């Protein structure tokens, strides 16, 4: 399940409590399910890829629009993608 929301802070603050009570983040107030082609490539300030290894690769790194990538667990960025992101000043 991926969720895109305009207000990240509201989402982060309430999401944990909502998930604990409902066992899902689907239906969280103010958020809507994402059904676009690639959540990783959406415009955003901070992208937090977590849990799945190698989701950012040399094939999609040039299309990443985030200014900052906060890596979570399991190595979401390949070495070649990392080099592309560095050349684009993605932090």
The residue ranges of every structural domain in the chain are 1-35, 37-91
Asked if residue 47 lies in contact with residue 69, where contact means CB atoms within 8 angstroms, the answer is: yes
Look at phi and psi of residue 23 and say left if phi exceeds 0, alpha if psi is from -120 to 50, else beta: left
Can you give the pTM of this predicted structure?
Answer: 0.70
For 33-82, write each residue's pLDDT tens digit: 778 788 899 998 889 888 889 999 999 999 999 999 999 888 999 999 99
- What CA–CA distances, in Å, run from 48 to 22, 29, 42, 45, 53? 23, 21, 12, 10, 13
């Amino acid at each position: 399940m991926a969720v895109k929301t305009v207000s990240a802070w509201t989402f982060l603050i309430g999401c944990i409590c909502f998930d604990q009570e409902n066992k899902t983040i689907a239906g969280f107030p103010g958020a809507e399910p994402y059904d676009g082609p690639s959540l990783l490539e959406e415009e955003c300030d901070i992208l937090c890829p977590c849990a799945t290894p190698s989701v950012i690769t040399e094939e999609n790194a040039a299309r990443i629009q985030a200014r900052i990538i906060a890596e979570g667990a399991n190595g979401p960025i390949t070495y070649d993608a990392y080099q592309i992101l560095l050349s684009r000043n993605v932090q």
